[in-house]
């Protein structure tokens, strides 16, 4: 009775011993996302005319657009990747990328401002090698 | 009257992925009465429909449940479309059927894993979920999301699946089928599983009918009740028949689900072979839903009903969902009467309770 009862499961286990592992060693080995994966919202400010359509179409109010200040902000923690904003934008500024957004460590809102230029990188500091004295 | 003991079961219990509470009245080890209570994760999504734009509400409807997400979205969209008098193109209907069946496969595999775990078969649990992972990959590759598909919208579907991808899905469904056949054998021939499920939690066909059982619970009791026979989406054009088992016990319900996975694979292959060409959506610009109607769809857990009332505004006046788990709680209470305390987890699991679904 016992041998009969464990036979099917034992066969399966034995066959699996000879197979490759079914799992990945996750942090070291990562699967690349599929081309269609809804990963994260990417924004390019160049063509945006701050019409606020995307903010109105967003079901979770993740996007805040300011017409006068010319800013466009997104809270990736609220976005549910529905792509309503992508379909709604008349100028094609918003895109859905397939790489998932890295985990957020704190609540942050990513703001873009028209005409904003990132500050120039600080000049490299050169240190004289100590002279042998 | 003999002394009875009251044993609380849930809301936190190892076999329950979600909170449902049962008060079990015991005489020795035998259950004489079970009193369910729900409402631990109520979210008020039905009320939300009265404020949300009806187009955006499709996103919310899909989030009613994580496991049957696509079919909730599909049901909502079909309802709104018929209130607007819009008919989706045939290709969209076929794609919806394809995704609905993929979602049925992953849901049943998830349940099989949980059932194996409840019966003490840890490695069988992992085997079911290994196969489920491949189905989730198929879903992500075609729809873009693993749990929330996000492809169903009012008027059609968002994404088209090209012929090459369809062929690859077809071929991989075949592989999944062969792998699944291996683990099916264990479920069907293993004597331990048989002893723990055969004759346990019996529900007679009459009781199933009177108590309004739906889905695999009704079909496991010999009632051929499957809403897909109404022929919504593409089901009217595919060749299939509802799966019925006569046992009425936990084993029969398990078998129904196992056979349904195989049937869903078959339906997907038929869908791919008969996929018509053409557009995938129709424009619903300027149209507003108007009227009142009730729609029924078949979810992995059974029949789901959507009631909608709209009066041409940008939101619905009333939206109500009757989920299959809710319908199956009355048969569950009946099945629990007279069973042993040790069998309660298995019986509760065989109705495949999806509590978050239940508490929209
Ligand atoms: S819809 Fe497009 S153009 Fe309008 S504010 Fe949004 S991103 Fe800018
Ligand atoms: S994808 Fe959806 S949720 Fe995310 S920002 Fe766009 S509209 Fe909002």
- Domain range A45-110, CATH architecture: 2-Layer Sandwich (3.30)
Burial of B260 (0-12, 13-18, 19+ CB in 10 A): buried
- Position B244 scores a pLDDT of 87
| CA–CA distances in Å: residue B177 to residues B22, B98, B172, B180, B256 | 37, 16, 8, 5, 16
C-alpha angle A84-A88-A90 in degrees, rounded to nearest 5: 155
Any atom of ligand 2 within 6 Å of the Cβ of A65: no
* A8: contact with B, CB 8 A cutoff: yes
Return the structure tokens found at B147: 């749990």
Q: Which two tokens stand for residue B39?
A: 């409402």
**For the packed helices B163-189 and B122-143, what is the interaxial angle rounded to 10 degrees?**
170
Chain B residues within an 8 Å CB radius of A9: 121, 123-124, 186, 190
- Is ipTM strictly over 0.95? no
Q: In 3D, which of A56, A72, A85, A92 has the Cα closest to residue A64?
A: A72
pLDDT per residue over A48-90, tens digit each?
888 888 888 888 888 888 888 888 888 888 888 888 888 888 8
> How far, CA to CA in Å, does A73 sit from each of A44, A69, A82, A112, B245?
12, 11, 17, 6, 56
The whole-angstrom distance between A64's CA and the closest CA on chain B is: 18
d(Cα B36, Cα B341) in Å, to the nearest integer?
15
Q: Report the alpha-carbon distance of residue B54 to residue B58 in Å, rounded.
A: 7
> Contacts of residue B186 in chain A, CB cutoff 8 Å?
8-9, 12
Residue-level pLDDT at B26: 85
Distances, alpha carbon B252 to alpha carbons B6, B23, B116, B243, B301, in Å: 30, 26, 15, 11, 15
| Measured distance CA(B9)–CA(B19) in Å, rounded | 10
Q: Which residues of B touch A57 (CB under 8 A)?
A: 56
Q: Record the tokens describing residue A68, joined without a space.
A: 């006068």
End-to-end CA distance of chain A: 90
How close is the Cα of A121 to the center of ligand 2, in Å? 33
What tens digit of pLDDT does each residue of B16-43 get? 777 888 888 888 888 888 888 888 888 8
- pLDDT higher than threshold 60 for residue A3: no
The closest residue, in CA terms, to atom 2 on ligand 2 is A82
CA separation for the pair B57, B351 (Å, rounded): 29
How far is the centre of ligand 2, averaged over its atoms, from the C-alpha of B56 (Å)? Answer: 11
Measure the CA–CA gap between B40 and B18, rounded to whole angstroms.
Answer: 9
**Which chain A residue lies closest to B159 (C-alpha atoms)?**
A36
Contact assessment for residue B109 and residue B261, using Cβ atoms and an 8 Å cutoff: yes
Please name the residue whose Cα sits nearest to atom 3 of ligand 1. Answer: A48
- The CATH superfamily of B45-322 is Cytochrome-c3 Hydrogenase, chain B (1.10.645.10)
CA proximity to B182, closest of A9, A27, A35, A89: A9
pLDDT the model gives residue A133: 59
Decide: B132 and B111 in contact? Cβ < 8 Å: no
Write the burial class of residue B153 (CB in 10 Å: 0-12 exposed, 13-18 middle, 19+ buried). buried
CA of B150 to the centre of ligand 2 (A): 12
**Omega prior to B11 cis, within 30 of 0:** yes
Q: Give the DSSP H or E segment for B168.
A: helix B163-189
Give dist(CA B94, CA B74) in Å, integer: 12
Q: For chain B, say whether A12 makes contact (Cβ under 8 Å).
A: yes
Radius of gyration of chain A (CA): 26
Give the largest CA-CA distance in chain B.
Answer: 70
Residue B57, classed as helix, strand or coil, is helix
Please report the atom of ligand 2 found closest to the CA of residue A60: 3
Alpha-carbon gap, residue B350 to B325, rounded angstroms: 11
Helix (H, G, I), strand (E, B) or coil at B351: coil
pLDDT confidence of residue A4 = 60
What is the end-to-end Cα distance of chain B in Å, rounded?
40
Pick the residue from chain B with its C-alpha nearest to A96.
B144
All residue ranges of chain B with pLDDT < 50 are none
What is the pLDDT at residue A1? 47
Please name which of A24, A9, A1 lies closest in space to residue B120, comparing C-alpha atoms: A9
Greatest C-alpha distance within chain A = 90
Half-sphere exposure of B289 (CA within 13 A, CB side): 26
For residue A5, the model assigns a pLDDT of: 65
Q: Which residue of A has its CA nearest to B54?
A: A59
| CA–CA–CA angle A5, A8, A10 (5° rounding) | 90
Q: Do B236 and B210 meet the contact criterion of CB atoms below 8 Å apart? A: no
**DSSP letter string, B169-202:** HHHHHHHHHHHHHHHHHHHHH-HHHHHHHTTSS-
Q: A37 — contact with chain B (CB < 8 Å)?
A: yes
Residues in Cβ contact with B28 at an 8 Å cutoff, skipping those fewer than 6 apart: none
């Amino acid at each position: 009775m016992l041998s009969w009862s464990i036979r099917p499961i034992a066969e399966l286990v034995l066959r699996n011993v000879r197979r490759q592992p079914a799992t990945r060693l996750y942090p070291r080995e990562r699967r690349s996302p599929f081309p269609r994966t809804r990963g994260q919202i990417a924004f390019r400010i160049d063509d945006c005319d701050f019409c606020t359509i995307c903010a109105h179409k967003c079901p979770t109010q993740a996007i805040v657009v300011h017409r006068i200040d010319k800013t466009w902000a997104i809270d990736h923690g609220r976005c549910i990747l529905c792509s309503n904003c992508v379909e709604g934008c008349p100028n094609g500024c918003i895109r859905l990328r397939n790489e998932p957004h890295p985990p957020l460590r704190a609540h942050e809102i990513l703001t873009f401002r028209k005409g904003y230029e990132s500050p120039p990188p600080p000049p490299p500091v050169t240190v004289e090698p100590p002279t042998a004295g | 009257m003999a002394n009875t003991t009251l044993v609380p079961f849930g809301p936190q219990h190892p076999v329950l992925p979600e909170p449902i509470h049962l008060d079990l009245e015991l005489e020795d080890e035998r259950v004489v009465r079970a009193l369910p209570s729900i409402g631990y994760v109520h979210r008020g999504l039905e009320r939300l429909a009265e404020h949300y734009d009806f187009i955006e509400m499709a996103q919310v409807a899909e989030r009613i449940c994580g496991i049957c997400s696509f079919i909730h979205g599909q049901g909502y969209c079909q309802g709104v479309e018929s209130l607007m008098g819009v008919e989706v193109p045939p290709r969209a209907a076929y794609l919806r059927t394809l995704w609905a069946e993929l979602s049925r496969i992953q849901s049943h595999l998830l349940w099989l894993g949980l059932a194996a775990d409840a019966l003490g078969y840890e490695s069988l649990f992992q085997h079911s979920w290994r196969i489920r992972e491949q189905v989730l990959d198929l879903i992500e590759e075609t729809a873009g999301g693993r749990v929330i598909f996000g492809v169903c919208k009012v008027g059609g579907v968002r994404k088209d699946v090209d012929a090459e991808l369809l062929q690859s899905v077809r071929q991989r469904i075949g592989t999944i089928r062969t792998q699944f056949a291996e683990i099916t054998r264990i479920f069907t021939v293993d004597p331990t599983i048989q002893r723990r499920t055969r004759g346990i939690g019996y529900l007679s066909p009459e009781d199933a009918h009177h108590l309004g059982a739906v889905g695999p619970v009704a079909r496991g009791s010999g009632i051929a009740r499957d809403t897909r026979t109404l022929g919504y989406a593409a089901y009217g054009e595919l060749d299939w028949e509802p799966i019925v088992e006569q046992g009425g016990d936990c084993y029969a319900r398990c078998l129904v689900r196992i056979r349904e996975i195989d049937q869903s694979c078959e339906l997907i292959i038929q869908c791919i072979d008969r996929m018509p060409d053409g557009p995938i959506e129709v424009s619903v610009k300027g149209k507003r839903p108007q009227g009142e109607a009730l729609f029924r769809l078949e979810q992995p857990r059974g029949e789901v009903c959507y009631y909608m009332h709209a009066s041409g505004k940008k939101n619905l006046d009333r939206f109500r969902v009757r989920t299959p788990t809710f319908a199956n709680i009355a048969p569950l209470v009946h099945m629990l009467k007279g069973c042993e305390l040790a069998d309660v987890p298995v019986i509760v699991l065989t109705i495949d309770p999806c509590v978050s679904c239940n508490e929209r």
